[in-house]
Amino acid sequence: RGDAAEPAIPFAEPGSLTRVYCVTSGKGGVGKSSVTVNLAAAMADSGLSVGVLDADIYGHSVPRMLGVDTGPTQVEKMIMPPRANGVKVISIGMFTPGNAPVVWRGPMLHRALRQFLADVYWGDLDVLLLDLPPGTGDIAISVAQLLPDSELLIVTTPQPAAAEVAERAGAIALQTGQRVVGVVENMSWLLLPDGSRTEPFGSGGGQTVADSLSRKVGTRIPLLGRIPLDPRLREAGDTGAPLVLTAPRAPAATALRTIATTL
């Protein structure tokens, strides 16, 4: 915002009707990307116009999880995002050759992010989900600058150690002024063949993060849902067919659909 020479970011314009959610976590591997793609697919399935910007420089896995098998195309000066399962997708991985790691420094990342927001033809989106890298690094700060009205959605596992770092990722909102929309607990339990539940990652992490962030921020931040472990969720991610669409009645899919409706 503010630089006349740069194209405007439509989502940052006053009166923009697009809700922008930044999905973040304290550390990797807690299911942040799985949650992002399933929320996106569920929202698109309910008739909303949805885009996902995969800004996870360490593990850009969104295109695969959503079943995107083509890259973006260029029409005049705009980048046209590919679309799969009703969701428009742009990933930082689409702009790095082969499977090369992203080794860009802060200013380069900031410029790339700006381009993904301003030069991609997203159309009139109801919702834009950003899959952020875990933690509180350069991308999280750039996003807050470029999209001050975006809201944070925190993903954690029930494990106390994961919850502690997730809380830090949420507390960035105190500095950026972003709203924290809520906490999602993933990998909460596993259903055993005899119908009982086991909790391999312990319990309580999601509620702990929600409570302590509420105290820090001074408003009530809800625990939006708890998603069980389900091997089908992993398989669905590997095959690019989101669980919310392929097995909508699975408890993990129901939890994700409920969260998508709440947002």
Which region among 23-31, 45-53, 174-182, 204-212 touches ligand ADP (by CB under 6 A)? 23-31
Among 55, 237, 242, 250, binds ligand ADP (CB under 6 A): 237
**Which residue's CB is nearer to ligand ADP, number 79 or number 165?**
165
Q: Least distance in Å: CB of 197 to ligand ADP?
A: 13
- Is 229 a binding residue for ligand ADP by CB under 6 A? The answer is yes
177 is in an annotated binding site: no
Rounded CA separation 254/191 (Å)? 15
For tokens 């975006």, the residue is: 150
- Is 242 a binding residue for ligand ADP by CB under 6 A? The answer is no
Among 59, 137, 204, 251, binds ligand ADP (CB under 6 A): 59
User: Where is 12: in which H helix or E strand?
Assistant: none
Contact 183, 156 (CB under 8 A): yes
- Is 30 a binding residue for ligand ADP by CB under 6 A? The answer is yes
Among 18, 24, 33, 136, binds ligand ADP (CB under 6 A): 33
Answer positive or negative: Cα dihedral of 53, 132, 25, 29: positive
- Is 241 a binding residue for ligand ADP by CB under 6 A? The answer is no
Rounded CA separation 172/69 (Å)? 34
Q: Which residues, other chains included, contact 58 with Cβ-Cβ below 8 Å and sequence gap of 6+?
A: 28, 102, 133, 134
- Is 233 a binding residue for ligand ADP by CB under 6 A? The answer is yes
Rounded CA separation 188/225 (Å)? 10
Rounded CA separation 259/127 (Å)? 14
Answer positive or negative: Cα dihedral of 236, 237, 241, 245: positive
Q: Least distance in Å: CB of 30 to ligand ADP?
A: 4
216 is in an annotated binding site: no
Among 21, 24, 31, 150, binds ligand ADP (CB under 6 A): 31
- Is 61 a binding residue for ligand ADP by CB under 6 A? The answer is yes
Which region among 28-36, 93-101, 195-203, 212-220 touches ligand ADP (by CB under 6 A)? 28-36
- Is 29 a binding residue for ligand ADP by CB under 6 A? The answer is yes
Q: What is the DSSP letter of 120?
A: B
- Is 159 a binding residue for ligand ADP by CB under 6 A? The answer is no
Token pair, residue 81, equals 């995002």
34 is in an annotated binding site: no
Go through 168-178 and write b for each residue having 16 or more CB atoms within 10 A of its CB, e for each that does not: ebbbbbeebeb
Pick the closest to residue 182 from 228, 149, 213 (CA basis).
213
- Is 24 a binding residue for ligand ADP by CB under 6 A? The answer is no
Which region among 68-76, 83-91, 175-183, 222-230 touches ligand ADP (by CB under 6 A)? 222-230
Rounded CA separation 24/47 (Å)? 25
* Chain residues that interact with ligand ADP, rule: CB under 6 A: 25, 28-34, 59, 61, 186-187, 227, 229-231, 233-234, 237, 252
User: Which residues define the annotated binding site?
Assistant: 26-33
